[in-house]
Amino acid sequence: MSKITSKMKRHVRHELKEEGPTIWVGKEGLTPAVMVQVENQLQKTKMVKIRILKSALATDTAKAIATRTAAQLDAALVEVRGHVFIIYRRRRKPLATDSKKPPT
């Protein structure tokens, strides 16, 4: 899991304060499809607000699901509040391929 400063945590919480969750974790838990969606949104917006449905909490706690998600995606866990959590990750630069380099 990556580190994040308290100032950056405040900024991320402020940015997502009025936003609703964009991803829901259902009774199946953290499926590969959910992880792909979270990854795509992190690449696009750097921060994601995720809601955990009550049926997913039958096996794990919200904190456990949030920390597992952040660890798998190498993101920082900003906040867990009730059944909603926020994760943040700096955008990853796309890998430069040799075909895009100008000829020398």
**18 found inside a domain:** yes
Amino acid at 53: L
What tens digit of pLDDT does each residue of 1-60 get? 667 888 888 888 888 888 889 999 998 888 999 999 999 999 998 899 999 999 988 888
**95 found inside a domain:** no
What tens digit of pLDDT does each residue of 27-37 get? 888 899 999 99
User: Rounded CA gap, 20 and 41, in Å?
Assistant: 14
**99 found inside a domain:** no
Q: What is the CATH number of the domain that holds 77?
A: 3.30.110.60
Number of domains, the chain: 1
**103 found inside a domain:** no
Q: Which residues constitute the domain of residue 41?
A: 6-90
**82 found inside a domain:** yes
Reply yes or no on whether the pLDDT at 75 is more than 70: yes
